[in-house]
Amino acid sequence: MQQESIQAALALLLGPQTEYRTRLRATRRLVKQGPAILPLVLSTFSNYPEITKPAWPWWPPQYEHTSRLLLHLSQKVQIPLADLLHHPILSDTPGPVLWTNVMEAASQIPEVDNEELLCQGLTTHWTSVRYAAAMALATRARTVKLHPSTRNQLYEHQQEHETFPVRLTASYALLNSGDPAGIEMLAHFLHIETPQEVRKAATFILATELPVELTTEQQEYLNLQLVPLLSDFDTDIAQHAAHALSKIATAHTLTILYPLLEMSNEHVQITILTLLEEIAQQHKVLRHQMRQHTLSRHLLPLLKSVHPTLRRQAFYTLAACGGEYVAAVLGTIVMNKDHPGQMEAVECLRFFHGALRAPLRGHIVRWLLRILTIQNEELQITALDSLAQLLWQAQHNGREQAWQEIRHEVTTDKNMFKLFHASSPVLRQRSLELLAILGDFLITTPDLQSYCHNLLLSDSDSGVRACVAYVCGRTAARWAMTTLLQALLDPDEHVAYTALHALTEIATVEDSIVVYALAELSRLYEDEQKTTGNLGREARNILKQWQKADAEKAYKMLHCLD
| pLDDT per residue as tens digits for the range 11-27 | 999 999 999 999 999 99
User: 449 with 497, same domain?
Assistant: yes
Residue 52 in domain: no
User: 451 with 497, same domain?
Assistant: yes
Q: Binning pLDDT at 50, 70 and 90, where does residue 291 land? A: confident
User: 495 with 516, same domain?
Assistant: no
Reduce the DSSP state of residue 451 to 3 states and report it: helix
The amino acid present at 448, given as its one-letter code, is L
User: 501 with 513, same domain?
Assistant: no
Residue 350 in domain: no
Does residue 525 surpass a pLDDT of 70? no
The pLDDT tens digits of the residues spanning 483-523 come to: 999 999 889 989 999 999 999 888 888 888 888 888 888 88
Q: What is the mean pLDDT of the chain?
A: 89
User: 501 with 521, same domain?
Assistant: no
State the sign of the Cα–Cα–Cα–Cα dihedral 395, 399, 401, 405.
negative
**pTM (2 d.p.):** 0.82
Q: Identify the domain boundary among 460, 479, 506.
A: 506
Reduce the DSSP state of residue 94 to 3 states and report it: coil
User: 476 with 512, same domain?
Assistant: no
State the sign of the Cα–Cα–Cα–Cα dihedral 155, 157, 162, 166.
negative
Number of domains in the chain: 2
User: 559 with 532, same domain?
Assistant: yes
User: 513 with 558, same domain?
Assistant: yes
User: 501 with 515, same domain?
Assistant: no
Q: Binning pLDDT at 50, 70 and 90, where does residue 419 land? A: confident
Residue 533 in domain: yes
Q: Binning pLDDT at 50, 70 and 90, where does residue 477 land? A: confident
Reduce the DSSP state of residue 228 to 3 states and report it: helix
Q: Identify the domain boundary among 506, 528, 552.
A: 506
Reduce the DSSP state of residue 466 to 3 states and report it: helix
**Residue 96 CB partners (closer than 8 Å, separation 6+):** 49, 50, 51, 124, 126, 128, 129
Q: Which domain holds residue 524?
A: 508-562
Does residue 175 surpass a pLDDT of 90? yes
Greater confidence (2 vs 503) lies with 503
Report the pLDDT value the prediction gives residue 532, as an integer from 0 to 100. Answer: 45
Compute the average pLDDT of residues 336-351: 94
**Three-state SS sequence of 115-147:** HHHHHHHHCCCCHHHHHHHHHHHHHHHCCCCCC
User: 531 with 549, same domain?
Assistant: yes
**Three-state SS sequence of 136-190:** HHHHHHCCCCCCHHHHHHHHHCCCCCCCHHHHHHHHHHHHHCCCHHHHHHHHHCC
In percent, the amount of the chain with pLDDT more than 90 equals 63
User: 513 with 489, same domain?
Assistant: no
Count Cβ atoms within 10 A of the Cβ of residue 44 and give its class: 0-12 exposed, 13-18 middle, 19 or more buried: buried
| b/e burial code for range 292-302 (CB count within 10 A of at least 16 → b) | eeebbebbeeb
Q: Report which of 415, 411, 405, 403 is spatially closest to residue 374, judged by C-alpha positions.
A: 415
Q: Please count the other Cβ atoms lying within 10 Å of the Cβ belonging to residue 199.
A: 23
Q: Identify the domain boundary among 506, 524, 545.
A: 506
Report the pLDDT value the prediction gives residue 553, as an integer from 0 to 100. Answer: 52
Among the ranges given (148-152, 278-282, 475-479, 527-531), the one the predictor scored with the smallest mean pLDDT? 527-531
The pLDDT tens digits of the residues spanning 260-286 come to: 888 778 999 999 999 999 999 999 999
Tell me the C-alpha to C-alpha distance, in Å, between residue 370 and each of 188, 331, 375, 413, 425. Answer: 54, 11, 11, 10, 21
Q: Binning pLDDT at 50, 70 and 90, where does residue 524 land? A: confident
Reduce the DSSP state of residue 445 to 3 states and report it: coil
Rounded to the nearest 10 degrees, how much is the dihedral formed by the CA atoms of 62, 63, 68, 73? 90
Residue 449 in domain: yes
Q: Cα–Cα distance between 472 and 476 in angstroms, integer? A: 6
CA 58 to chain centre: 22
Report the pLDDT value the prediction gives residue 360, as an integer from 0 to 100. Answer: 93
HSE-up of residue 108 (Cα within 13 Å, Cβ side): 19
Report the pLDDT value the prediction gives residue 294, as an integer from 0 to 100. Answer: 67
Contact predicate 322/330, CB 8 Å? no
Contact predicate 81/114, CB 8 Å? yes
Q: Binning pLDDT at 50, 70 and 90, where does residue 414 land? A: confident
In percent, the amount of the chain with pLDDT more than 70 equals 95
Q: Binning pLDDT at 50, 70 and 90, where does residue 557 land? A: very low
User: 496 with 524, same domain?
Assistant: no
Residue 535 in domain: yes
Q: Binning pLDDT at 50, 70 and 90, where does residue 550 land? A: low
**Cis peptide upstream of residue 110 (ω within 30 degrees of 0):** no
Contact predicate 498/470, CB 8 Å? yes
Residue 274 in domain: no
Does residue 59 surpass a pLDDT of 90? yes
Does residue 359 surpass a pLDDT of 80? yes
Q: Binning pLDDT at 50, 70 and 90, where does residue 552 land? A: low
Q: Binning pLDDT at 50, 70 and 90, where does residue 533 land? A: low
Tell me the C-alpha to C-alpha distance, in Å, between residue 494 and each of 92, 290, 454, 503. Answer: 64, 49, 18, 14
Residue 553 in domain: yes
Alpha helices, H only, 349-399: 360-371, 377-396
Strands (E), 274-395: none
Q: What is the CATH number of the domain that holds 474?
A: 1.25.10.10
Report the pLDDT value the prediction gives residue 560, as an integer from 0 to 100. Answer: 46
